[in-house]
């Protein structure tokens, strides 16, 4: 297995950040909007959590379809 370069590590960190942060922020924004408009913090929390979970699931599923989880090397080594 080839050693990762600093650029490769930055790329992995960026992908992990995208998989986790983007859906979480989307869920927080949606939850706050629902809580603010409807006045129900519990409903906003529930909807925000569901949106975050769906977003993370979709991003992971997209990565699996691209072959990120098959264990094969990507650099041709």
- pLDDT tens profile 1-30: 567 788 888 888 888 887 788 888 888 888
72 domain residue, yes or no:
no
Please tell me the total count of domains within the chain.
1
59 domain residue, yes or no:
yes
Measured between alpha carbons, how far is 54 from 61 in angstroms, rounded to an integer? 10
25 domain residue, yes or no:
no
2 domain residue, yes or no:
no
* pLDDT tens per residue, range 29-74: 888 888 888 877 788 888 888 888 888 888 788 777 777 666 666 5
71 domain residue, yes or no:
no
47 domain residue, yes or no:
yes
The residue segments making up the domain with residue 58 are 39-63
Q: Report the candidate in 57, 55, 8 with the shortest Cα–Cα distance to residue 28.
A: 55
Q: Report the candidate in 7, 14, 2 with the shortest Cα–Cα distance to residue 73.
A: 2
User: What is the value of pTM for the model shown?
Assistant: 0.58
């Amino acid at each position: 297995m080839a050693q990762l370069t600093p650029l490769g590590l930055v790329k992995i960190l960026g992908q992990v950040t995208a998989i986790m942060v983007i859906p979480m922020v989307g869920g927080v924004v949606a939850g706050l909007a629902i809580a603010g408009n409807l006045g129900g913090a519990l409903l906003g929390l529930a909807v925000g959590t569901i949106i975050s979970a769906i977003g993370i699931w979709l991003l992971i599923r997209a990565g699996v379809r691209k072959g990120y989880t098959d264990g094969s090397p990507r650099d041709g080594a």
